[in-house]
Amino acid sequence: MATTTALMTALVKTQKGDGFLELREVPVPAPGAGEVLIEVKACGICGTDIHVLHDEFPYWPPVVLGHEFSGQIIEVGPDVHYYAVGDRVVGEPHTQACGHCYLCRTGNVQICPTKRSPGWGIDGAFTKYLKMPERLLHRIPEGMSFDTAAVTEPTANTVHDVIERAKVEAGDFVAILGPGPIGLLAGLAARAAGARHIVMIGAPNDEAIRLKKARELGFETVLNVAESKPADVVRELTGGIGADLVIECSGAAPAIASTVDLVRKKGRICAIGLTGKENVAFPWDKAAAKVIDLIFNMSTSYSSWDRSLNLIASGRIPAGEVISHRMPLVEWQRAFDEIEAQRALKVLLIP
């Protein structure tokens, strides 16, 4: 049985600043009241991890990175009632939400001011063992692999953003900017909800991996901005009207500005991508003239996790398709390099 005197290898952001990411030996955590200890089986590298590496997202060092995990419970603390040793689980990264503020009391624990998620606020899952409150856990459906389960968290992000908040509807025409893992999962979520046509838009450096995968996933129109003008294509495909829903996943300033040209009057823009910058330019008056709804998003809801697990298990969202690489934790540097060079989609690190 693991104890607090034992050590494990972990990928740690050691201090503030660009870089400062390294493997260190850290103590194995001990589960407290209402907590379980999980043996991590796989953990995906998220865009947030890249932002933390480059000092572009809030974090509290020294901290173990990683939050897109799957694993198996090996120990339970006192007052754990609903989970047992051997259960295969994933978990919502909403630890240390206070439970008392107006956000928590209205079911929005994911944006509680005191929340400190694994991977940036408290120690995360790029290591062998992770402790989690049982209230944030979800069981992995029978027959789902640990690798596929590890992409539940990014899938739940897109299900929350696209289905629950932007409210994609059957018959919607959807345009997506940024064909990375989140963009591809957003497209799969929109398709599962009944979108009639999905346009996936990327840049020239997306061509080799990301746009290729978009075509493999069967999205109806896949565009490279160097070869076509997305706004013209969207207008042509919609009889001059524009997209019902535009989903911005790239976080790139030019793409953010272009969303207004893509969307129809009285349409919706779903903002998912983070820029890593304090400000970006946006055609405010043009958006106002179109009377668009602009929906910002952050993190996941409880309901989006169950929806995602069910949609993945049923095959409606083949989330495992975005996994391109599986590497041991000791190869973290190569994994991060491959993602930043856009030679990889979703990379899982295996402790």
Q: Could you report the per-residue pLDDT of 252-304, keeping only the tens digit for each?
A: 999 999 999 999 999 999 999 998 888 999 999 999 999 999 999 999 999 99
The reported pTM is 0.95
Q: In this structure, which amino acid lies at residue 282?
A: F
- Are residue 162 and residue 184 in the same domain, yes or no? yes
- Are residue 44 and residue 129 in the same domain, yes or no? yes
The answer to whether the CB of 134 falls within 8 A of the CB of 35 is yes
Does residue 52 lie in a domain region? yes
- Are residue 85 and residue 201 in the same domain, yes or no? no
Q: How far apart are CA 244 and CA 197, in angstroms?
A: 10
Under the phi-then-psi rule, with left for phi > 0, alpha for psi from -120 to 50, and beta for the rest, what region is 79? left
Does residue 17 lie in a domain region? yes
- Are residue 80 and residue 113 in the same domain, yes or no? yes
- Are residue 130 and residue 175 in the same domain, yes or no? no
- Are residue 280 and residue 345 in the same domain, yes or no? no
| pLDDT at position 3 over 50 | no
Q: How far apart are CA 70 and CA 154, in angstroms?
A: 12
- Are residue 17 and residue 109 in the same domain, yes or no? yes
- Are residue 171 and residue 290 in the same domain, yes or no? yes
CATH code for the domain in which residue 140 is found: 3.90.180.10
Does residue 142 lie in a domain region? yes
Question: How many structural domains comprise the chain?
Answer: 2
Does residue 31 lie in a domain region? yes
Neighbours of 63 (CB within 10 A): 21
Backbone φ and ψ for 163, nearest 5 degrees, come out as -90, -50
Does residue 310 lie in a domain region? no
Does residue 2 lie in a domain region? no
Does residue 71 lie in a domain region? yes
* Mean pLDDT, residues 327-351: 97
CATH code for the domain in which residue 206 is found: 3.40.50.720
Q: In this structure, which amino acid lies at residue 144?
A: M
Does residue 282 lie in a domain region? yes
- Are residue 189 and residue 282 in the same domain, yes or no? yes
Q: Could you report the per-residue pLDDT of 51-102, keeping only the tens digit for each?
A: 999 998 999 999 999 999 999 999 999 999 999 999 999 999 999 999 999 9
- Are residue 107 and residue 209 in the same domain, yes or no? no
Domain extent, residue 196, equals 157-296
User: What is the DSSP annotation of 116-183?
Assistant: --BTTTB--SSSSEEEEEGGGEEEPPTT--HHHHTTHHHHHHHIIIIIIIS---TT-EEEEE--SHHH
- Are residue 290 and residue 210 in the same domain, yes or no? yes
| pLDDT at position 179 over 70 | yes
Q: Could you report the per-residue pLDDT of 201-226, keeping only the tens digit for each?
A: 999 999 999 999 999 999 999 999 99
- Are residue 187 and residue 280 in the same domain, yes or no? yes
